Amino acid sequence: MTGKKGKQLNWGVERRYEFIEFRLFWQGRINRGDLMDAFGVSTQQASLDLNAYIEQAKRNLVYDKSLRTYLRGKLFKPKYLKPDAEEYFAQLRAVDQALVSAEQSWISFFPSFGATPAPARGVAPETLRDVLAAIREPAALQVTYQSMSRPEPSARWIEPHALAFDGFRWHARAFCQNDQLFKDFLLSRIVEVGGQGPVTAEPSSDDAWHTEVVLEIGPHPDLSDNQRRAIEMDYGMEEGRAQIAVRRALLFYALKRLGLDTNPAARRPQDQQIVLLNRDEVIG
């Protein structure tokens, strides 16, 4: 990002400009104290940042003497921030789940909000550390793993090369030396990690991981016209369809989370809501 007269901006300065626009866009106001609290800068530095920003974006904010703060201008147009509703929601969720404190978030005014509870996943930090080390080396890991196909944990050698999240749980994507194929291992089910060994497979050979599948979804055809339009808005569809790209290795999880893993006729249209338009291509 370049500033006035094409000069390259310091990363910290650019982040503070982005913060100014975040507060102006989402909360409509910004002052020196906001910058001081968020970045730990001095009063003088906060004033310098605001004045420098005003020089290049005069129409983005106006000073209100009675409130002693800058308000979003009617012609506000961000230069450093790309407003994103999903990013805002992510910050709300992070605070709600205590992943970050309210003070660490860029949001200063929190609306009353709630979220459906996500069950805590018992991933031991030492397990994650050892899996990350194996990915980095690369190396094979001797693990004791509790699968659902056997009543007792079993020992096996795996060669992790990536992490995967299915919307609820974290997996290690790895080559299993016992079964001689690439598969997913739930990190929470790794009971114990032993030593390291040499790898025997190339991650590039994991075709399912490196192959992308495009899910083409549309409103359930048995919904009313108004209901279909509502679903189109829910999923950001254009001309009655939207595309979602997913790794083939994660296809099972994606279909299950979207409710596309069963026959659409098995549920009422109001419950199913969306259908997979290219089902034969994706599943067939």
DSSP secondary structure string for all residues of 57-70: -GGGEEEETTTTEE
Q: What's the pLDDT at 128?
A: 95
* Identity of the residue numbered 194: G
pLDDT given at position 266: 85
Q: Rounded CA gap, 203 and 21, in Å?
A: 41
CB 249 within 8 A of CB 209: yes
Domains and CATH numbers, the chain: 4-72 (1.10.10), 125-203 (2.30.30), 211-282 (no CATH)
Listed in sequence order, the DSSP H helices in 191-238 are 207-210, 225-234
Question: Which residues does the chain have with pLDDT short of 70?
Answer: 1-9, 118-121, 284
Euclidean distance between CA atoms 130 and 194, whole angstroms: 9
Q: pLDDT at position 149, please?
A: 87
Q: Residue 72 in contact with residue 53, Cβ under 8 Å?
A: no
State residue 6's pLDDT score. 42
Span 153-188, pLDDT tens digits: 999 999 999 999 998 899 999 999 999 999 999 999
212 neighbors 247 (Cβ within 8 angstroms): yes
Cis status, amide bond into 219, omega within 30 of 0:
no
| Cα gap 145→187, rounded to integer Å | 9
Which positions ≥6 away from 112 have C-beta within 8 Å? none
Q: Determine the pLDDT at residue 232.
A: 96
In this structure, what is the dihedral angle of CA atoms 33, 38, 43, 48, given to the nearest 10 degrees? -100
Q: Looking at residue 239, what DSSP letter applies?
A: T
Say what the pLDDT of residue 9 is.
58
* pLDDT, averaged across the chain: 91
Reference 166, options 281, 101, 258; nearest CA is 258
Tell me the Cα Rg of the chain.
Answer: 25
